[in-house]
Amino acid sequence: MTKYLEAQNKSNTLVINGFIHSDELIRLSKSDCHWADNRTKEFQHRNIKKGEIYQFEFGKNYIPEMSYEHRGLVIGVKKKLLYVLPIFSYHPQKHTDIYHPIDFPASKSDMFLLKSNEFSFINHDSVLKLNDIRSVSINRILYKYAGQIAPSSNTYKQIEALVLQKYFPDFYYRSNKIQETMDCLQNNLSTLQTENKMLQAEITVLKTTIAQRSNQ
């Protein structure tokens, strides 16, 4: 109890001294209420899929980690634990280095631009934070958005590849090499199968010719 009161006093001091502004205080309070209301509840019963967009309560975190309410792209599901990339508002003056496959293809930024005219789940241009992947409880979900980024789409595949590049570069490199080897073997197999068909056709012709000569 003493530690709890000490923590509350420190938070109140930050508010009084203006280190926590009113808008953040509201978000912080909502975050604490959500945690208090849901910490002992049963897990939500949802059929979560990769590529879906949800509003999450990420809670209190250190800068530059994402905190409080934000959208998130689900890129992995492990029972009641979700792997999520946060989404937040795009500000051109603030986000001067950002990646987009068409507008900014040369950028190596950890921020992926999601344009509102390309995705139905956003009303204004937003940013997908590639370097802040989260493992979160399903109970952090507040609600679901109607749109999604289909896992079969080129955009989703590129996002997933970029995340692998940034988090697991060695695995990404080895995986690509294995895929290249598999593609090469598949091409060789296709070539051999084509050659085999040609040889089988030649054998059939020879057998027919031999049979005709034997009957003469």
Spatial CA neighbour of 70 closest among 161, 153, 168, 141: 141
d(CA 163, CA 172): 10
Fold category of 42-167 in CATH = SH3 type barrels. (2.30.30)
Q: Which of 63-67, 72-76, 170-174, 189-193 has the lowest mean pLDDT?
A: 170-174
pLDDT tens-digit series, residues 36-48: 888 888 887 888 9
SS3 162: helix
Sign of CA dihedral 14, 19, 20, 21: positive
d(CA 115, CA 90): 9
Spatial CA neighbour of 163 closest among 185, 199, 133, 186: 133
d(CA 81, CA 102): 33
Q: Is 70 exceeded by the pLDDT of residue 181?
A: yes
Helix (H) or strand (E) holding 53: strand 52-57
Per-residue pLDDT band at 19 (split at 50, 70, 90)? low
Q: pTM of this prediction?
A: 0.73
Sign of CA dihedral 152, 155, 157, 163: negative
